[in-house]
C-alpha cells in the first residue's frame, strides 16, 4: 500500500469535521451492486488520506460473518416514529474488516434477516420502516461518535430521510444545525417510493407531504425528501448529472435536480487500485503490465479454458458481467442474431432476470464453442474476465457511473459501451474503448463491429490497450473534487445558520 | 536540419470486374497492373536487393484491393498477358507488311518487358496484395486506405454514407493487409469543413453538417492529405496548453511544408493533415511543363491496333499523333536519369530556402501516373530513391513516421475544396453530372431511413448487405469524373445507373414494403455474384447509422 499525503478538510467553527458516511450497502458487509464498493472506496481513500471519518451501516445478518470485534457505543436508545417506538443500539467495530472506521446500527427486527432489501425477488414490506429507522438512528448516533463537528455524507434513497430527520427532529439544536449534508445519488432509478399513508408511520408531519418536499405523484419519495433537504447533492458522473436533469433521463425527478442548480453536480467514482492491479492480482493466470502485455494472452487462454471455450488466441473474446437485467441492456444482446454470427466468443457472468438467463443458456446450448454462461458471480471470476477478455460489453440503458468499464480499461480490456452516464465520461471513443448511442440491437452491433475490426489490427490494438491502461481511475483523482464539494456544503450550512 | 520527403502514391480504380472487358472494364485493371502495380513491385524488390533506403506511402483503395485479391482478376490478367505476348509475337511480321520496319526492334523490347513482368506476377503467386504487404512489413511502404469505393465525400447526401465509406474502407484494409491504416487518402483530396450544406438548389438543405475530419475521426483515421489551396484558404491557430489561439501569423504560417492539426468539433485524438507541395508535384504530373512531356518518353495516346501496343515516343507535346517518332528505350532511360537528378536538386532547393518551421515536402500522386500514363515513371521513382541519402538534406520518410516524429501543434481551420480542376468540386458537380446527384441523394435518404430497422431483422441481412454494396458502388467518384472528362462517359453513365437501379430494386424490402422476400434475396444473391466486393456490411451499416442525439446541456 502506498503512503499518501494527508488531505485537509475545510473547517467548521475552526475545527476539522468528521465525515460520516451513511450507507445501506458497504463493502464487505453488504453488497448487491456498485453502491457498497463506491461508498467504501471513497471512505477508505479519505481515511487513508488522514481525514477523520466514520461509516454507519445497518448490522445485517450477512454483515455479522465479516465483523470482528463489536463494542457497544453507549446504551441502546429508543426513537418514536409517531406512536411506534423502535430501539436501536450503536456498535463500533474495532479492527474493522473494511479497513475503515465503521459503526453499525443494530435493530435485529429490521436487519437480522436473510436479505438486504428483500427475499425471493420480493421487497420486504416494511422497507420504509427499516430505512427510515436506520436514517433516524444514525443521526441520533452522531454525538456518540464525535463531540466535534460532523459533515454527513448520505448515499442513495435508503439514507434519503437522514437530512429530513436532521432538520425536522433535531432542528434548533445548534450542534445538529451546523451539520452540512451531502447526498450522493448512485442510482436514481431506485428512489424509495411508498404510499402516502406511511407519512405518520415515519414520524413526519403531513406538512412535508408537498410537491417541494416528499410528495411525488401522490406517493412518499425518500430520495426526493433527501434532495429537498440536503445542502449539496451529487451523482456519480458529470454526464449522468446532465441526464438526470432531462425528462428522458430524470426518472421523474428532473424538476428537483434542475431546481438544485449548481448544488447538484456529478463526480465520478474511483476503483480500488490495490485490488485491481494486473501486476499483482492473485486471481489471474499471469501478471502483466502496460509495458509488457504478454501475460494477457496467458490470461485469455486461461479464461477460455475455465469457461470451456476452444483455445484460440486470435478470436475476439467478449465478456459481459454483472446483473443480467434490462438496465444492463441484456435484451439488446440475447436476441441479437447478428452478434453471434461473427467470429467471436462470448462469456456471460452474473445472474438476473429469468428470461435473460434462459435465453443465454439456450445460446450456450446452441453454440457451446462460442457462448459460455456462468450465473454464479464471484469476485475471482470477475478478475478472470477482466484480465482474459479482449472486449467488455456494456450496452446499458443507463449507467450512472459504472465501475466495470474502469476496471476493464485498467486491465487493458477494451470496453464497448453505450454513451450514457459514467460510461461516456470514462471511455474515450476510439482511443480507450468504443461508445455507441442507439439503445437498440443496431447500437450494440455497430459498437461491436467497430471494436472487432480494431481487434484485427495488431499494432493499433496494443496501442489502444496501452491508452486504456494509462487512464487514471483511482480515488485520488476525485479527492480534490470532494474537498471542494464538502467546502461548498459547509459554506451553505454556515449561511443557513446565520 | 534536414527536411523530410513524403512521396505518396494513391492507387485506385473503380469496380470493373464483371462489368465488361474492352474498351472499358477489366482491361483497365489489367493495364494498370501491367503498367504500374507489377513494375512497382519489381522496383521495390530491386531496392530491397540493393539495400537502398526507400520509404513510400502507398494508398490502395479498398475497391482496388478487393479487385486485386479477386480470382476473376487473376484469370483476367493471365489472359491479358497471353494476349499481349501473342500480339508481340506477331508484331514484327505485321510491321514488316505495313512497311513500319523502324518499329520492329521494339517487339524485342516489349517481349522482354512483358515476360519479365509475367515472371514477377508468377513469382508473387498472383498476389499483388501479398507483395505490398511484404514490403510494408519490411519498412519500405506505409500502406494507407481510403473511402471504400472512393466516394466523393463532401457531396454525399447523408452523414451515414460518409461514415460507411470510411468504416468499410478501414475494415477492408485490415482484412487485406493485416494492419489497420492510420492514414486516409480522402478521395480527390475533397474536404468540406463543418457547416451548412446545400450543393444544389434541388438538394434538401442541412443547417449544420459535420466536417469530413469528424467522420475520419469516428472511423479511426489519424491523418489525411489536402491540396495546398485548402491550407492557404484556412486560418491557423497556435496551441497553448492544448487550447487553440488565433495566431498573428498569416500566410507564412500556412506553409505547405508543415503538417497541421485540423480545427475540429470532434473529441478525441488530434486529426492531422499533410499538405501537397505545389512546386515539386507540378514537375511530375504536368504533361506540359513537367517531366512526362519530355519528347523521349513513350507516347500514351498513340496505340497500335490490333494488339494495343505503344511504339512511339512523345516526340513533342505539340506533335500530332501522325508525327510521332518511334520509341527509343535507351534515350528514355537517359531522360529518367536526368529527371531523377533534377528532382533531387529541386528537393534540395526547396529545403535550402525552407524556414525554421518548414519540415516536410509532401508529394502525392495517383499511382497510375507512374507506368501507365508516364510509362517510365516507376523507373523515375526507383532512381530518385537511389539519389536520396538517409543523411542528406532531404530524407525520405512515410507520412505516419513524420507525424509520429514531429507532432504538429499548429491548428488549421481548413478551407473547402479538392485537388481536382479549379480546386473545387466542379469536376464532380457540374451541369453534366447534376443528374447523378439528383438520382443518388433520394436513394441515400431511403437507404439510411430504412437501415436502422433493417439491421435488426435477420431475414433482411443478405438484402441489406447487397444494398449497401450497390449504394457504395453508385457513390464512386469515378462515374462523375469520367462523365466530366468525356472519355468514357457512356460506360460511367451505364455503371452509375446500373448500381442505382440495383439499389432501387432492393430498397422496398428494407423499407418493409409487402414484397416476396425470397425473391428479393434471390436477386441480392444474383447481384452479389457480380458485385461481390467487401464483407460483413450489416455490422458496418449498423455502426454508420448510429449517430448520436445530443443530450441537452
Model confidence pLDDT, tens digit, residues B437-454:
999 999 999 999 999 999
Contact assessment for residue B294 and residue B339, using Cβ atoms and an 8 Å cutoff: yes
For A91, phi then psi, to 5°, come to -125, 140
Which residues of chain A are within 8 Å of residue B269 when distances are taken between CB atoms? 430-431
Give CA–CA dist B337/A160, Å, rounded. 84
Residues of A numbered 450-489 whose beta carbons fall under 8 angstroms of chain B's beta carbons: which are they? 450, 452-454, 456-460
Closest CA to B480 of B494, B493, B498: B493
pLDDT tens readout for residues B261-308: 999 888 888 999 999 998 899 889 877 779 999 999 999 999 998 889
- Alpha-carbon distance of A30 to A321, in angstroms, equals 19
Backbone angles phi, psi at B313, to 5 degrees: -105, 165
Do B543 and A446 lie within an 8 Å CB cutoff? yes
* Region A15-35 average pLDDT: 93
| A10 interfaces chain B, CB cutoff of 8 Å | no
pLDDT for B445 equals 97
Taking CA B328 as the corner, what is the angle to CA B326 and CA B330, rounded to the nearest 5 degrees?
180
pLDDT at position A341 = 78
Q: What is the pLDDT of residue A446?
A: 97
SS3 B181: coil
Catalytic-residue membership of B35:
no
**Nearest to residue B369, comparing CAs of B359, B378, B379?**
B378
Q: What is the DSSP letter of A433?
A: B
Whether the per-residue pLDDT at A21 is higher than 80: the answer is yes
Q: What is the DSSP letter of B250?
A: -
In angstroms, the separation between the Cα of residue A434 and the nearest Cα of chain B is 10
State in Å, rounded, how far the first CA of chain B is from the last one. Answer: 49
Closest-CA residue to A402 (of A435, A370, A431, A371): A435
How many angstroms away from the CA of B160 is the closest CA of chain A?
A: 12
How many angstroms separate the CA atoms of A250 and B161, rounded?
Answer: 34
Q: State mean pLDDT over B144-169.
A: 98
**For residue B153, which of B426, B437, B477, B442 has the smallest C-alpha distance?**
B477
What digits encode the pLDDT tens for the residues B386-435? 999 767 889 999 999 999 999 898 899 999 999 998 899 999 999 999 99
Q: Tell whether the model's pLDDT for residue B356 goes beyond 90.
A: no
Q: Which of A431, A445, A452 sits opposite B268 (nearest CB)?
A: A431
Burial class (CB in 10 A: 0-12, 13-18, 19+), A408: buried
Identify the pLDDT of residue B4. 95
The rounded distance, in Å, linking the Cα atoms of B368 and B390 is 27
Among A423, A425, A434, A453, which would you mutate to test the B interface (most chain B Cβ atoms within 10 Å of its Cβ)? A453
Q: Exposed, middle or buried, A207 (CB in 10 Å: 0-12/13-18/19+)?
A: exposed
Q: Is the peptide bond before B23 cis (omega within 30 degrees of 0)?
A: yes
Strands B195-197 and B206-209: antiparallel
Output the nine-digit C-alpha cell for A423.
Answer: 460510461
Q: Mean pLDDT over all residues of chain A? A: 95
CB distance B189 to B281 below 8 Å: no
Say which of B269, B546, B551 has its CB closest to residue A246.
B551
* Sign of the C-alpha dihedral computed for residues B489, B490, B495 and B497 taken in this order: positive
Is A2 or A272 the better-scoring residue by pLDDT? A272
Q: Which residues of B touch A440 (CB under 8 A)?
A: 452, 456
Summarize the confidence of residues B368-397 as an average pLDDT: 92
Reported as a single tens digit per residue, the pLDDT across A162-180 is 999 999 999 999 999 999 9
* pLDDT for position B253: 55
**Residue whose cell numbers read 500530332:** B320
B543 CB within 8 Å of a chain A CB: yes
- DSSP label of A309: P
Report the complex ipTM.
0.93
Q: Is the pLDDT of residue A123 over 60?
A: yes
Looking at residue A498, its pLDDT comes to: 84
The rounded distance, in Å, linking the Cα atoms of A285 and A296 is 9
Q: How confident is the model at residue A1 (pLDDT cuts 50, 70, 90)?
A: very low
Is B366 tagged catalytic?
yes
Residue in A closest to B543 by C-alpha = A446
Of all residues in chain A, the one with the smallest CA distance to B537 is: A449
- Interchain CB contact of A297 with B (< 8 Å): no
Cell of B144: 494507407
Quick one: closest CA in A to B549, which residue?
A: A437
> Which of the pair, B239 or A285, is modelled with greater confidence?
A285
Mean pLDDT of A365-392: 96
Residues 6+ apart with CB under 8 A from A5: A49
What are B242's three cell numbers? 492544448
The least confident of A410-414, B109-113, B288-292, B519-523 is B288-292
Q: Which residues contact A369 (CB under 8 A, 6 or more apart)?
A: A309, A310, A345
Residue A497 grid cell: 445558520
* Candidates B220, B551, B553; nearest CB to A454: B220
Other C-beta atoms closer than 10 Å to the C-beta of A121 total 8
Closest CA to B112 of B380, B346, B329: B329
- Listed in order, strand segments (DSSP E) in B51-174 are 56-60, 141-146
Distance (Å) of CA B389 to CA B51, B358, B381, B394: 12, 19, 14, 8
Peptide bond into B306 cis (omega under 30): yes
Three cell numbers written together for B179: 494492419
Contacts with A243 from chain B: Cβ below 8 Å: 551
Judge: A438–B267 Cβ closer than 8 Å, yes or no: no
* Contact assignment for B174 to A453 by CB distance below 8 Å: yes
Contact in structure between B447 and B474 (CB atoms under 8 Å): no
- With H, G, I as helix, E, B as strand and everything else as coil, classify residue B287: coil
Q: What is the pLDDT of residue A3?
A: 57
Is pTM, for the whole model, over 0.80? yes
B94, B366, B389, B504: the catalytic one is B366
Chain B residues within an 8 Å CB radius of A443? 542, 546
- Determine the 3-state secondary structure of B91 from DSSP: helix
Residue B239: pLDDT over 80? no
Q: Which of B35, B159, B172, B188 is catalytic?
A: B188
Amino acid at each position: 500500500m502506498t503512503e499518501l499525503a494527508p488531505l485537509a478538510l475545510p473547517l467548521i467553527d475552526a475545527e476539522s469535521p468528521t465525515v460520516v458516511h451513511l450507507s445501506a450497502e458497504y463493502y464487505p458487509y453488504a453488497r448487491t451492486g456498485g453502491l457498497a464498493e463506491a461508498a467504501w472506496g471513497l471512505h477508505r481513500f479519505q481515511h487513508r488520506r488522514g481525514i477523520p471519518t466514520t461509516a454507519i451501516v445497518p448490522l445485517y445478518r450477512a454483515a455479522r460473518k465479516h465483523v470482528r470485534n463489536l463494542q457497544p457505543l453507549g446504551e441502546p436508545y429508543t426513537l418514536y416514529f409517531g406512536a411506534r417506538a423502535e430501539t436501536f443500539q450503536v456498535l463500533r467495530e474495532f479492527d474493522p474488516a473494511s479497513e475503515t472506521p465503521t459503526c453499525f446500527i443494530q435493530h435485529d427486527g429490521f436487519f437480522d434477516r436473510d436479505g438486504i432489501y428483500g427475499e425471493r425477488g420480493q421487497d420486504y414490506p416494511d422497507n420504509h420502516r427499516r430505512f427510515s429507522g436506520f436514517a433516524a438512528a444514525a443521526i441520533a448516533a452522531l454525538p456518540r461518535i464525535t463531540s466535534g463537528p460532523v459533515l454527513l455524507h448520505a448515499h442513495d434513497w435508503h439514507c434519503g430521510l437522514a437530512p429530513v430527520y436532521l432538520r425536522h427532529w433535531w432542528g434548533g439544536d445548534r450542534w445538529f444545525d451546523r451539520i452540512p449534508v451531502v447526498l450522493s445519488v448512485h442510482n436514481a432509478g431506485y428512489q424509495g417510493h411508498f404510499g402516502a399513508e406511511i407519512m405518520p408511520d415515519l414520524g413526519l408531519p403531513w406538512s412535508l407531504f408537498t410537491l417541494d418536499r416528499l410528495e411525488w405523484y401522490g406517493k412518499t419519495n425518500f430520495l426526493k425528501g433527501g434532495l429537498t433537504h440536503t445542502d449539496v447533492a451529487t451523482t456519480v458522473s458529470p454526464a449522468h448529472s446532465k441526464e438526470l436533469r432531462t425528462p428522458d433521463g430524470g426518472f421523474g425527478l428532473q424538476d428537483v435536480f434542475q431546481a438544485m442548480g449548481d448544488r447538484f453536480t456529478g463526480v465520478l467514482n474511483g476503483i480500488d487500485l490495490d485490488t485491481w492491479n494486473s501486476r499483482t492480482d492473485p486471481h489471474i493466470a499471469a501478471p502483466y503490465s502496460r509495458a509488457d502485455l504478454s501475460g494477457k494472452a496467458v490470461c485469455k487462454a486461461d479464461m477460455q479454458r475455465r469457461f470451456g471455450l476452444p483455445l484460440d488466441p486470435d478470436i475476439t473474446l467478449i465478456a459481459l458481467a454483472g446483473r443480467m437485467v434490462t438496465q444492463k441492456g441484456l435484451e439488446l444482446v440475447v436476441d441479437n442474431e447478428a452478434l453471434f454470427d461473427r467470429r467471436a466468443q462470448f462469456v456471460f457472468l452474473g445472474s438476473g432476470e429469468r428470461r435473460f438467463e434462459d435465453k443465454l443458456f439456450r445460446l450456450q446450448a446452441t453454440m457451446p464453442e462460442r457462448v459460455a454462461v456462468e450465473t454464479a458471480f464471484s469476485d475471482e471470476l470477475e478478475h478472470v474476465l477482466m484480465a482474459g477478455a479482449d472486449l467488455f460489453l456494456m450496452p446499458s440503458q443507463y449507467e450512472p457511473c459504472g465501475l466495470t468499464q474502469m476496471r476493464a480499461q485498467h486491465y487493458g480490456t477494451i470496453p464497448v459501451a453505450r454513451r450514457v452516464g459514467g460510461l461516456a465520461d470514462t471511455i474515450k471513443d476510439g482511443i480507450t474503448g468504443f461508445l455507441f448511442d442507439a439503445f437498440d440491437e443496431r447500437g450494440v452491433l455497430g459498437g461491436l463491429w467497430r471494436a472487432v475490426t480494431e481487434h484485427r489490427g495488431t499494432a493499433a490494438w496494443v496501442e489502444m490497450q496501452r491508452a486504456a491502461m494509462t487512464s487514471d481511475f483511482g480515488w485520488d483523482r476525485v479527492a480534490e473534487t470532494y474537498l471542494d464539494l464538502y467546502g461548498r456544503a459547509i459554506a451553505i450550512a454556515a449561511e443557513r445558520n446565520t | 536540419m534536414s527536411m523530410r520527403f513524403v512521396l505518396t502514391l494513391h492507387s485506385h480504380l473503380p469496380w470493373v470486374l464483371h462489368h465488361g472487358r474492352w474498351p472499358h472494364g477489366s482491361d483497365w485493371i489489367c493495364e494498370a497492373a501491367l503498367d504500374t502495380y507489377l513494375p512497382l513491385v519489381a522496383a521495390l524488390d530491386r531496392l530491397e536487393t540493393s539495400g537502398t533506403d526507400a520509404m513510400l506511402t502507398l494508398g490502395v483503395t479498398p475497391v482496388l484491393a478487393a479487385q486485386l485479391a479477386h480470382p476473376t482478376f487473376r484469370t483476367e490478367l493471365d489472359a491479358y498477358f497471353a494476349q499481349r505476348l501473342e500480339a508481340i509475337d506477331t508484331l514484327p511480321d505485321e510491321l514488316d507488311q505495313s512497311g513500319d520496319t523502324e518499329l520492329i526492334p521494339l517487339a524485342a523490347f516489349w517481349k522482354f518487358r512483358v515476360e519479365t513482368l509475367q515472371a514477377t506476377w508468377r513469382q508473387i503467386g498472383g498476389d499483388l496484395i501479398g507483395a505490398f504487404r511484404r514490403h510494408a512489413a519490411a519498412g519500405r511502404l506505409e500502406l494507407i486506405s481510403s473511402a471504400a469505393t472512393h466516394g466523393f465525400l463532401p457531396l454525399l447526401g447523408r452523414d451515414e454514407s460518409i461514415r460507411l465509406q470510411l468504416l468499410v474502407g478501414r475494415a477492408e484494409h485490415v482484412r487485406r493487409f493485416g494492419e489497420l491504416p492510420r492514414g486516409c487518402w480522402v478521395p480527390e483530396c475533397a474536404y468540406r469543413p463543418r457547416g451548412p450544406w446545400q450543393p444544389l438548389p434541388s438538394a434538401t438543405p442541412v443547417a449544420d453538417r459535420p466536417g469530413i475530419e469528424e467522420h475520419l475521426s469516428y472511423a479511426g483515421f489519424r491523418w489525411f492529405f489536402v491540396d495546398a489551396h485548402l491550407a492557404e484558404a484556412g486560418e491557423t491557430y497556435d496551441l497553448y496548453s492544448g487550447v487553440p489561439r488565433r495566431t498573428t501569423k498569416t500566410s507564412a504560417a500556412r506553409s505547405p511544408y508543415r503538417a497541421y492539426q485540423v480545427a475540429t468539433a470532434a473529441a478525441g485524438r488530434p486529426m492531422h493533415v499533410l499538405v501537397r507541395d505545389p512546386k515539386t508535384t507540378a514537375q511530375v504530373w504536368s504533361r506540359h511543363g513537367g517531366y512526362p512531356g519530355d519528347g523521349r518518353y513513350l507516347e500514351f495516346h498513340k496505340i497500335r491496333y490490333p494488339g494495343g501496343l505503344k511504339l512511339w515516343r512523345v516526340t513533342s507535346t505539340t506533335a500530332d499523333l501522325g508525327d510521332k517518332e518511334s520509341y527509343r528505350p535507351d534515350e528514355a532511360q537517359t531522360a529518367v536519369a536526368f529527371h531523377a537528378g533534377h528532382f533531387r536538386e529541386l528537393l534540395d532547393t526547396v529545403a535550402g530556402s525552407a524556414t525554421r518551421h518548414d519540415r516536410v515536402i509532401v508529394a502525392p500522386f495517383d499511382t497510375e501516373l507512374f507506368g501507365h500514363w508516364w510509362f517510365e515513371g516507376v523507373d523515375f521513382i526507383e532512381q530518385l530513391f537511389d539519389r536520396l541519402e538517409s543523411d542528406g538534406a532531404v530524407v525520405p520518410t512515410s507520412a505516419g513516421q513524420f507525424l509520429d516524429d514531429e507532432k504538429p501543434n499548429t491548428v488549421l481551420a481548413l478551407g473547402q475544396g479538392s485537388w481536382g480542376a479549379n480546386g473545387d468540386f466542379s469536376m464532380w458537380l457540374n451541369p453534366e453530372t447534376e443528374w447523378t446527384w439528383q438520382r443518388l441523394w433520394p436513394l441515400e435518404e431511403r437507404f439510411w431511413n430504412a437501415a436502422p430497422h433493417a439491421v435488426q431483422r435477420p431475414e433482411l441481412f443478405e438484402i441489406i448487405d447487397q444494398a449497401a454494396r450497390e449504394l457504395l458502388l453508385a457513390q464512386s467518384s469515378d462515374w462523375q469524373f469520367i462523365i466530366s472528362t468525356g472519355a468514357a462517359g457512356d460506360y460511367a453513365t451505364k455503371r452509375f445507373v446500373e448500381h442505382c437501379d440495383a439499389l432501387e430494386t432492393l430498397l422496398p424490402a428494407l423499407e418493409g414494403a409487402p414484397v416476396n422476400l425470397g425473391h428479393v434475396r434471390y436477386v441480392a444473391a444474383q447481384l452479389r455474384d457480380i458485385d461481390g466486393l467487401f464483407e460483413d456490411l450489416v455490422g458496418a451499416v449498423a455502426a454508420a447509422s448510429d449517430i448520436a442525439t445530443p443530450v441537452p446541456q
